Amino acid sequence: MKIDDALSLIREIPDYPKPGIRFQDITPLLAHGEAFIAITEKFATFADSSTLVAGIEARGFIFASAVANQLRSGFVPIRKAGKLPHLTISESYGLEYGDDTLELHIDAVAPGAKVLLIDDVLATGGTAAAAVSLVEMCSAEVVGLGVVMTLEFLSGREKLQNIQIHSLRSITS
């Protein structure tokens, strides 16, 4: 399936989770096997088996674990505060709707490792920037950020100036 046909399955839910937010609902895409694999195969071209694939909770996990499997490489979860059982490092950030903290297991990413970060939506960039910080705190390298969509009007790219962003769709307004 073509990437654009897969992306066309994403639906916009107005005023969710609060008024003014146009939520990008990826669940119809995930429910379509050919669409899901088209997206994850595309992300897999941005890395190889020497690269860890890190997913950002929660929707990033869905794509990142599939990509890691295709590459036969490892998957690392970057989670919201309090969810990881072992010692963590953490980074706080503001997002389009609220504030949050991301955490990474202290031993999940070795110094010098190469990491492909994956999430569904790049909005203000706070979430992805916090994830980048966590990887860099481990003295590892973010080789790219794969996102299904970028909400360009929220200027998230400005917070990620040194990061190679692989965005499959730009939403400009």
Q: Which residues are catalytic?
A: 59, 96
4 alpha-carbon distance from chain centroid = 19
Helix, strand, coil % in the chain, rounded to nearest 5: 30, 35, 30
CB of 62 to ligand AMP, least distance (A): 11
Task: Give the DSSP per-residue string, 117-162.
Answer: EEEEEESSSHHHHHHHHHHHHTT-EEEEEEEEEEEGGG-GGGGGTT
Interface of this chain with ligand AMP, residues 55 to 114, rule: CB under 6 A: 56, 59, 95-96
Interface of this chain with ligand AMP, residues 121 to 140, rule: CB under 6 A: 121-128
Instruction: Determine, following the binding rule CB under 6 A, whether residue 168 of this chain makes contact with ligand AMP.
Output: no
**Contact pick of 38, 77, 120, 140 for ligand AMP (by CB under 6 A):** 120
CB of 72 to ligand AMP, least distance (A): 26
The answer to whether 24 touches 149, Cβ cutoff 8 Å, is yes
Stretch that binds ligand AMP, among 22-30, 37-45, 101-109, 132-140 (CB under 6 A): 22-30
User: In angstroms, rounded to a whole number, what is the distance separating the alpha carbons of residues 102 and 100?
Assistant: 7
**Contact pick of 61, 104, 119, 142 for ligand AMP (by CB under 6 A):** 119
Instruction: Determine, following the binding rule CB under 6 A, whether residue 146 of this chain makes contact with ligand AMP.
Output: no
CB of 44 to ligand AMP, least distance (A): 20
Tokens linked to 92? 């706080």
The answer to whether 63 touches 146, Cβ cutoff 8 Å, is yes
Interacting residues toward ligand AMP by CB under 6 A: 21-24, 56, 59, 95-96, 119-128, 156
